[in-house]
Structure 1
Amino acid sequence: MKFLPLHYATRNIGRSPLRLALTAGGGAIVVFLVVSAVASVRALDRGIRASGTVGNVMLLGAGSEESVERSEISASTPGVLAASIRGMKSLGGAAFISPELHVPLPLRREDQPAPVGNARDLVMVRGIEPSAFMVHPQARLSIGRLPEIGRAEALVGRSLAARLDIFDKNFANQDENANASTTIHSQADNSPATHSAATSFNAHNSHASNQEILIDDIPFTVTGIIDAPGVAIDGEAWVPISDLLVLTKRQTISVAVISLDSADIGDIEMFAAQRPDLELAAIDEPAYYAGLAKFFKPVQILIAVSALIVALGAMLGGLNALDAAFASRSREIAMLQVLGYSRAAVIANLIQESIITVATGAIPALIIAALLLDGLGVRFSMGIFSLRVDAACVASGLAAGLVLGLIGSVPPTLRCLHADIPSALKSDLV
C-alpha cells in the first residue's frame, strides 16, 4: 500500500493559520489542564505519604488514632516512655523521642490586614522540642536558629515562608544588623545622643527584616526556615511546645513520636496495653499517613474530575476545529483517491496531520506547565504541597494530546470518505 509522504501532512498544517491556532490552542489547554491535575493529585498523595518516617511510632490518645489534632495525652507521657521502653534510638544519651502539640491556628504576617469575619487562614502550628529534628529527618533548619522558650519565636517551613514573603536574605540582614548593633554599643559612650542613636537603630532594624507574624493574633518572631521539601512540614510553623501550651491554654499534648532501634511496634503496643492509665494507642507513622492519604482520596478524585471536565470543554472545541478543517477538504480527499491512494493511506495521513497539529500546541503547553507549575506551592486544608512536573505528568499530557489528535481526525475523515468520488470532486468546499 502506497502512503502519502509525511511532508504532505506538515505542509497542510499551515494552509489555514486560524484553524491551526484554534486546534493547537485547544490541544494546549487540554494538555496543560491534564498536567496540572495529575501534578496536583500526585503532590497531595506524595506529600502526605512522605511525611511518615519508617521506624517512627506515634503514641496518640486512645480513640484518636485517625487524627493527631484531636488526640490528647499527658505532658508527662514522653518521660514515662523514655524511662520504660528499651530499644529506642539514642544519640549521646538522648533518646529519640519528640513530644508534640498539633493545633491549627490562624497565622498571618503582622503587617497584613486582619481578616474579615471567619475568613481566616489556618496553618498547622506544631509545638516541638529540639528533639523533633531527631525523629523527623525530613526537616532541616536551613537558615536561622532555633526559637527560644518564652520569647514568642517560631520556625516556618519553606513553603509557608514563601507565602509570607520571608526569605533567606531577611536572616542575613538580621545577622548584619545584630553585628552592627553590637558595634554601636561597644563603641558607645554614656552620652544621651549616642544612646538615642543606638535605640533608634535597633528600633528601625527590628522591623527591617519583616519577620514578624501573628499566630492567633499573638505576635511571634520568625527565627529560621525549615527545609522539608515534599512533605507536610514544609507548610507548618514550629514553636516551642511550652509556648504553644500557654497560647492554647492546654495542659495536654497531642502525640509523642519515637524512633525505634532494636524494638518494634509490637513492643510499644504491649507497653500501651500494660499502662491503661496512660490511655495510649500506638500506630506506625507511615501507616498513619497512609490512612490519611486514603482519607483524602475522594478529594484527589474531585480534583482530577474537575480538571477533566474543563479539559473536556477545551477538547470539544478542538474537535470542532478539526472537524471543520477536514470536512471542508472533501474535494482534496477525493482527488487523492483518484491519484491512486487508498482510503487507509488517506486516513493515516490525516491522522498524522491531526497529531502534528495538536503537538504544535501540546509541546509548548508542557514547557509552560514545567515553568509555571514545577515547584509551585499549593495550599490544601492547613498544609502546603509543592507541585512537581515529573515524567508521569508529562506522559499524561502527551497521552491526552495523542487521544485528542486521534479522536479529532477519524470521525470527519470517515465521513468524507463515505461520499462518492464524483460528488466530492464537484463539491464547492475546498
Structure 2
Amino acid sequence: MLLPWEYGVRNLARRPIRTALTLIALATVITLVFVVVGFIRGLERSLAVSGDDAVVLVYSVNSEENVENSSIAAQIPGLLTASFDGAQARYGIQHVSPELYLGTRVREAGGKGGLGLVRGVTTAAPLVRRSVNVFEGEWPAAGEVLVGRLAAAKLGVESESLAVGKVIDFEGESWPISGRFAAGGAAFESEIWCRLSDFQTATKRQDLSMVALLLQPGRSSGEVELFCKERIDLELRAIGETAYYGLLQKHYRPVRMLAWTVVWLVSGAGVFTGLNMMYGAVAGRVREIATLQALGFRRVAILLSLIQEGVLLSAAGSLIAGFIALTMLNGMAIRFTMGAFTLRIDSVALLIGCGVGLSLGVLGALPPALKALKAEVAVCLKAV
C-alpha cells in the first residue's frame, strides 16, 4: 500500500524554511543550466543563420578562415564580374559586394567603448546580404555609419549610446549614426557599416578584405572556386558563405564542448546540493520513517513518498528557473570573440533544463532515503 499523495505535500509545508532554502538552491542550479545551454544554442543559431547558400565569399588564400586578415586588390570585383557571369544582376546592377572588414577601437560620445567590427560596404551590400534590414533611420550618407542591433553589446556600452543621431569615434574620425539594422540573428548584427570609400580613406587603405557574390539560381560556388584556382597569380580563395560559417562552427567546437562540460559540472553540483539538503531532511525524520514502517507501510512505499517530495521541489524549482530564463535571459546579448549574439532559450534548452531539474529531485532524494530505510526500526523509534 502506498502513502497518500497528500502526505508528501503536507510534509513540505511542515518545514517551510527548509523547503524554501531547498527550492532556492534547486532553482539557482537549474537557472545556471539554462544560462549555459542558452549560450550554446545562441552561438549555434548565430552561426547557422549567418550563411546564405547562394552567396560566395572570395578573399585572400593566405588568410585561411580569418577574413579580417585578408587583403585583396581593389580591382578584383571588376575582374570577377568580367570573367564570371554567374552572379545575379537586376536592372544592370551586379549583385557583387566589395567589402573592407576589420576590427578597430570604437568609442561612443562618453569615451566608453571597445574593440568593434567595422565593415566598409557599397550600396550593393543589401542586395547580397539579403537578411539585413534597416529598421530605424536610413542608409548612411558620406561620413555616416549604420550600426547593428547588437553592436552595443559587442562594444560593452549601453544601447542608448548607439541610438540614431549619436556620434561614435574610430580610426581618428567622428561618425554620426544614421540608422540601425537587424539581420535575423546573423553575425552581421554586431557590426558597424559605413561607406567603403570613407572607410578606405580613414584607414589609408585602397585594398579590400573580400568580395561577396550572390549567385544566380542553378549556379554553384564550385565555378567561382575553379576560377580562383585557375588564376593562381591572384592568390584568391572562394568558399560558399554557408560552408564558411560551417568552418567557424568547427572552430568553436571546443568552446561548445567546454560549455557542455560546465552543464555537467553544474548538474553534478546540483546533485550534491540536493543530497546535502535531503540528507538533512531525512536525518530529522528518522522516527517518522520508523513509525510508518511499524504501522505496516512497506519500505518501497516510503521510498516513493520521499522521492515524491524531492520531485515536487525540483519541479517547482524548474518552473521558477524556466520563468526566469524565458522572461529575463532569453534574448540577452552576450559579447564574444566573433562579435555578439543573444542567449536562446528554445524548446531544446527548456527540455534540457527541466530534465536536469527533475533528475536532481530523484537523484538527490534517493541515496538518503535508502540509507534511512536500511536502519533498524526498533533503533530508529528510540532516536531523539
Report the TM-score range of the alignment, normalised by the length of the smaller protein: over 0.9
* Matched letter for residue 182 of structure 2: D
TM-score in terms of structure 1 length:
0.84
Q: CA deviation at 1:340?
A: 2.1
* Matched letter for residue 303 of structure 1: A
Say yes or no: does 1:214 pair with 2:213.
no
Bigger CA drift: 69-78 or 304-313?
304-313
Contact 1:127–1:244 (Cα < 8 Å) also in 2? yes
Contact 1:29–1:311 (Cα < 8 Å) also in 2? no
Contact 2:74–2:208 (Cα < 8 Å) also in 1? yes
* Matched letter for residue 214 of structure 2: S
Name the counterpart of 1:328. 284
Q: CA deviation at 1:95?
A: 1.5
Name the counterpart of 2:333. 377
For residue 379 of structure 2, the aligned residue among 419, 423, 426 is 423
* Matched letter for residue 403 of structure 1: S
Distance verdict in 2 for CA 1:147–1:348, change over 3 Å: same
For residue 307 of structure 2, the aligned residue among 344, 347, 351 is 351
Contact 2:275–2:368 (Cα < 8 Å) also in 1? no
Contact 1:108–1:164 (Cα < 8 Å) also in 2? no
SS of structure 2 residue aligned to 1:341: coil
Runs of 4+ in structure 1 over 6 Å off: none
Q: CA deviation at 1:359?
A: 2.1
Say yes or no: does 1:229 pair with 2:220.
no
Name the counterpart of 1:277. 233
Bigger CA drift: 405-414 or 155-164?
155-164
Matches within 5 A, 1:278-297: 278-297=234-253
Contact 2:270–2:360 (Cα < 8 Å) also in 1? no
Q: CA deviation at 1:331?
A: 1.4
Distance verdict in 2 for CA 1:308–1:123, change over 3 Å: farther
TM-score in terms of structure 2 length:
0.94
Bigger CA drift: 12-21 or 333-342?
333-342
How far, CA to CA, are the matches of 1:346 and 1:251 in structure 2? 78
How far, CA to CA, are the matches of 1:27 and 1:45 in structure 2? 27
Distance verdict in 2 for CA 1:9–1:98, change over 3 Å: same
Q: CA deviation at 1:316?
A: 2.7
Q: CA deviation at 1:155?
A: 0.4
For residue 123 of structure 2, the aligned residue among 130, 143, 146 is 130
Matches within 5 A, 1:196-275: 209=165, 211-261=166-216, 262-275=218-231
Q: CA deviation at 1:310?
A: 4.9
How far, CA to CA, are the matches of 2:358 and 2:87 in structure 1? 53
Structure possessing the higher radius of gyration over alpha carbons = 1
Bigger CA drift: 331-340 or 74-83?
331-340
How far, CA to CA, are the matches of 2:263 and 2:200 in structure 1? 42
Show CA shifts across 1:60-105 (max 9, x none). Answer: 1123231111111111111111122122212212111111111001
Q: CA deviation at 1:167?
A: 5.7
Show CA shifts across 1:173-211 (max 9, x none). Answer: xxxxxxxxxxxxxxxxxxxxxxxxxxxxxxxxxxxx4x1
Bigger CA drift: 314-323 or 61-70?
314-323
SS of structure 1 residue aligned to 2:340: strand
* Matched letter for residue 100 of structure 2: L
Contact 2:49–2:184 (Cα < 8 Å) also in 1? no
How far, CA to CA, are the matches of 1:425 and 1:302 in structure 2? 49
Distance verdict in 2 for CA 1:308–1:161, change over 3 Å: same
How far, CA to CA, are the matches of 2:26 and 2:296 in structure 1? 33
Name the counterpart of 2:134. 141
Structure 2: tracts of 5 or more residues without a match: none
How far, CA to CA, are the matches of 1:217 and 1:314 in structure 2? 51
Instruction: Tell me the percent identity.
Output: 37
Q: CA deviation at 1:427?
A: 1.4
Contact 2:146–2:181 (Cα < 8 Å) also in 1? yes
Say yes or no: does 1:71 pair with 2:41.
no
Name the counterpart of 1:340. 296
Contact 1:125–1:238 (Cα < 8 Å) also in 2? yes
Q: CA deviation at 1:143?
A: 1.6
* Matched letter for residue 216 of structure 1: E
SS of structure 1 residue aligned to 2:117: strand
Bigger CA drift: 299-308 or 371-380?
299-308
Structure 1: tracts of 5 or more residues without a match: 114-119, 172-208
Name the counterpart of 1:56. 55
SS of structure 1 residue aligned to 2:141: coil
How far, CA to CA, are the matches of 2:21 and 2:110 in structure 1? 46
SS of structure 1 residue aligned to 2:62: coil
Q: CA deviation at 1:156?
A: 0.3
Bigger CA drift: 93-102 or 27-36?
93-102
Q: CA deviation at 1:34?
A: 0.2
How far, CA to CA, are the matches of 1:160 and 1:126 in structure 2? 12
Matches within 5 A, 1:362-373: 362-373=318-329
Show CA shifts across 1:316-353 (max 9, x none). Answer: 33321111001221211122222222111111111111
Q: CA deviation at 1:276?
A: 2.2
